[in-house]
């Protein structure tokens, strides 16, 4: 299963240097750099991923995108983080 806009977010924004901005500032930068269509595609990717993948599968997917964020041991884990990203993207600027 392919999640192209989620891959863009994770590989281009949440890469090894993401901590320079912070968790939510990085998402804001992605949204600033993206078009409305990109944000809509990200929302669709997140919905599909959350609807079909387990926590372990989400972690493996994000690892395959070279995402440098670790949500292990955090409340909600990786799925909770993606749910919050989806909520923020849907809420808009």
Domain boundaries, the chain: 4-91
- Reported confidence tier of residue 93, pLDDT bands at 50, 70, 90: low
Tell me what pLDDT residue 82 has.
97
Q: Distance (Å, rounded) from C-alpha 76 to C-alpha 74?
A: 6
Q: What is the residue-averaged pLDDT of the chain? A: 92
Q: Distance (Å, rounded) from C-alpha 20 to C-alpha 82?
A: 20
Q: Distance (Å, rounded) from C-alpha 75 to C-alpha 53?
A: 18
Give the mean pLDDT of 50-67. 96
- Reported confidence tier of residue 13, pLDDT bands at 50, 70, 90: very high
Q: Distance (Å, rounded) from C-alpha 93 to C-alpha 91?
A: 7
Give the global pTM: 0.91
Q: Note whether 57 and 51 are within 8 A (CB).
A: no
């Amino acid at each position: 299963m392919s999640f192209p806009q989620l891959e863009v977010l994770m590989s281009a924004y949440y890469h090894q240097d993401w901590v320079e901005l912070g968790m939510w500032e990085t998402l804001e930068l992605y949204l600033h750099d993206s078009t409305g269509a990109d944000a809509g595609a990200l929302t669709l990717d997140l919905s599909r991923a959350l609807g079909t993948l387990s926590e372990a599968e989400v972690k493996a997917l994000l690892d395959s995108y070279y995402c440098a964020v670790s949500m292990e041991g955090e409340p909600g884990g990786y799925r909770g983080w993606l749910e919050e990203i989806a909520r923020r993207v849907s809420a808009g600027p």
